Chain A
Amino acid sequence: MSKLKFTLLFLGSLMIGNASLQAAENSNTETQVTKGEEVSTENASSAGVTEPQQPITREDFEGVRNEIAVLKDAYDRTLANNIANSQRSLKISGTLSSSYSIPTSSNASPDPIPTFSGGSATLSFKGNLKKDYAEGRNLDYVLSLATTTSGTVTNYVQPTDAYLQYSIFPSLDNEKPLFYVQFGQQKKPFGLEATTNDDKKPTINSATFVSKLNVSKRDIGILLRGDISPTLDLGFNYRIPLIEYSIGIFNGSGPNALDTNKQKDIGGRIIINAPVDYNSSYRGLSLGGSFYRGKDDISKTIGTSTIKDIGSRNLYGVDLAYVATPIGFTAEYASQESQYLSGTTKANIVKPTRKSDGYTLTVFYNFGDQFLKNARVESRQDDYWPTTYQPFVRFDHYDPDKAVSGDDTSIVTYGFNVFFAETTKLQFNYNVRHERSNSDLHQNDFVAQFQYGF
């Protein structure tokens, strides 16, 4: 009720303010009103005022304006203090991709066909539930949705990220370390490529091991992440911590799913960054290491019965990156040891371990106008689209079972990206694929994709 009264008071004040403004404008139409002068009857009539009145001075006008501003501010603060999801900043972002692929040579049967693809779409909401101006111990939320593809059809939308983030350490002072807790469905802290958003990757397709080893799938759990010993270059508003770390406990059953066993998975990642100033040639150099230890439900069907068990799945990864201008590279290696059930009868069933691994090396060169983090240009009336060009080459190798020879996949991708903005790019990839496990498939294809981020 008090809010209603306050709103009415506020609206009333606005109306009074507008009326004063209108009167001021009307009385200024034909005569200059100065302090001490009276408004002529003719003008007063035209303004709908029948009685002589005191002229409005600049001070009066400023006074009304200030009162309205005070009321508006009080109203906004009341809302901000009492409603969690009021007018606090909400950042909406997303990516959409449209692509066209043409197989240029293939020994596959039947011949693959050229196709347009709607690709994928993501939509992300990031906002603030509690803003702590004094120390920055903010409570934030992230909700992301993405289309999923089943076979050849993009058929539904489901949440990818859905978590709350609380800053345990004060986050306002850039010279101090940061420490957050994230609770909900989120990315697992494994590897470089799997933790990087699509809009930052030069290639259209992810590295083979990222999808085959399931490291890019979201999971539900709790994650602690932070950094240590940051270097701050205030002249460029650049902050780089010496060490970044993250460790989390997850269901291990993937996104939008409850746990299927009592065991929880644990994963962690540590990154050592070059502790240098913005202008250093070593800016962008980092070395990372990751681990993931989990338990999966494994099963085997023998005859008409299915034998179920729990198998361990352990991953280790290491990566090296130099993301700079004009030249940069990323290199990553990941290895997995996973148990599975093997045997022909219930009596002789065993739980052996399969070792898989994969690696990628991407080298890129940037030229053209570079997008700058700090530069939010004001003076140009048109949109700011610095165009960057990025040729790159990537080597991708994956071996699903180290004990078996001749089952590996190698893909060499030659690509060229045109960045119209930091997250909007036209991509051309030429993939030379050799799948020895798939009837010794040799297939080259050309893929063009337009990915637009907002």
Chain B
Amino acid sequence: MKKWIRFLTIAGLVSMTVAAQAANKPAVIRVGAVGSSGKPFAGGINGIVQDQGLLQQEFKNDGIQIQLTLYKGAGPAVNEALAAGKLDIASIGDLPCVIGRAGGLKTRYILGRDNGVNSYIIAAPQANIHSLRDLKGKRISVSKGTKTHLTLNRLLAQVGLTERDVKLVNLSGADASAALATGSVDAIIGGADRPLVQQGLAVDVYDTRKDPIQNKGRGALLVTEEFAKKYPDIVKRVVKAHIRAAYWASQEKNKEALYAVETKTGSSRQSLVVDLAGQNLKEKYNPTLNASSVASFKDIVDFAFRSKLIRQKFDVDQWFDKSYSEVALKELGLENYWK
């Protein structure tokens, strides 16, 4: 009888230990990011993490699966997946993640991503638009609620205009290009890929390449509060993999390889070369949560509130969680690299 009691006690302790270990290690990490133009490849830092298999390498010995999902519906689709509890880690643009957080998504901002995402304004040749000022009264296509929407507002503010001084048409992707080509809108704001310009159907008006960093789009790496609370060490290691990618991308010697990664998303090499020309890669791929990124996000919250994109403000300082990146940077010996 005593033997049985001892056996059951040991078995109970062993099963409790196994259960406790399992609780500290998820079977799968569900990562979501904004997808590109129909290709199963992410861009920017996410693209490098995916291409080099950095998350898979990090968790190979733990037997943890990485489930990467790229959402064609951009930021709103990532927010929807977060709300439905389908993601643990999310990579998303600046404005959508602010709207999502203000809308009640329980997330923490754990790492910056590409800081210098450029926007390009192109116009129909007959629209007679040569500068930002010429946009007044014109029909401009923008995908509302995305980071280009925010950038457009900032650019308009530069010349004393607001959204009310132009006519915004909510279109994206192929629809926006078709609208410009058929003369239904006068200008569109989008990314570096501008096939209409190459085809002679549109002209460049303005781009943010030479602008200060606050005029450029930013990306964010988020974790759900539930996952962070449950698996803090796993979150730190996810952050570490992303910092490795940022460090790799920030080096000039890797520029050609960076183009190779980016072209997998369908972007043309020519556009990428133009886009990155003269850009400080170390600044662009600085993932640290510094005073500049905090200030930028406070500004985004103010903008979203003023524009009635969110109903209530929230505390950016509380949302940012530097603890994971600080430890990860130290472990990688990079604590002074971006200072």
Cα separation A70 to B98 with both chains bound (whole Å): 40
Q: What number of A residues sit within 8 Å (CB to CB) of B?
A: 37
Q: Are B139 and A234 in contact (CB under 8 A)?
A: no
Docked complex Cα distance between A376 and B84 (Å): 15
SS class of chain A's interface: helix, strand, loop or mixed?
A: loop
Q: Which residues of A contact B56 (CB under 8 A)?
A: none
A378 engages B39 (CB within 8 Å): yes
| Residue B234 at the chain A interface, CB threshold 8 Å | no
CB A234 to nearest CB in B, in angstroms, measures: 3
| A309 part of interface (Cβ distance < 8 Å) | no
Q: In the complex, identify which listed stretch (B129-137, B197-205, B255-263, B285-293) lies at the interface while the others stay far away.
A: B197-205
Q: Does any Cβ of A come within 8 Å of B54's Cβ?
A: no
What 0/1 pattern do residues 96 to 138 of B give for CB contact below 8 A with A? 1011101111000000000000000000000000000000000
Determine if A235 and B170 form an interchain contact, defined as CB atoms under 8 angstroms apart: no
Chain B residues contacting A238 (CB-CB under 8 Å) are 76, 80
Report A-chain residues with C-beta under 8 Å of the C-beta of B80. Answer: 236-238, 278, 372-375
Of the candidates B69, B99, B179, the one whose C-beta lies within 8 Å of that of A380 is: B69
Interface flag for B230 (CB, 8 Å): no
* Segment of B1-9, B180-188, B276-284 in the binding face: B180-188
Q: Which residues of A contact B144 (CB under 8 A)?
A: 174, 234
Q: Are A73 and B181 in contact (CB under 8 A)?
A: yes
Do the beta carbons of A237 and B145 come within 8 Å of each other? yes
A234 to B95, CA, bound (A): 10
**Is residue B223 within 8 Å, beta carbon to beta carbon, of the partner chain?**
no
| Chain A CB within 8 A of B171 CB | yes
**Which B residues touch A4, using CB under 8 A?**
none
The residue in chain B whose Cβ has the minimal distance to the Cβ of A373 is B80
> Which of A133, A374, A377 sits near B185, CB closer than 8 Å?
A133
A42 at the interface (CB under 8 A from B): no
**Chain A residues positioned under 8 Å from B270 (CB to CB):** 62
B71 and A235 form a contact (CB under 8 A):
no
Chain B residues with Cβ below 8 Å from A134 are: 139, 169, 179, 184-185
A370 part of interface (Cβ distance < 8 Å): yes
A203 to B201, CA, bound (A): 52
A133-B171, A236-B100 known; A69+B84 contact, CB < 8 A: no
Q: List 18 A-B contacts (CB under 8 A).
A: A66-B199, A69-B195, A77-B182, A134-B185, A236-B79, A236-B103, A237-B76, A237-B77, A237-B80, A238-B76, A279-B83, A372-B80, A372-B84, A374-B81, A375-B86, A376-B71, A377-B69, A380-B69
What residues make up the interface of B, taking CB atoms closer than 8 Å to A? 35-36, 38-42, 68-73, 75-77, 79-81, 83-84, 86, 96, 98-100, 102-105, 139, 144-145, 168-171, 175, 178-179, 181-182, 184-185, 195, 198-201, 270, 309-311
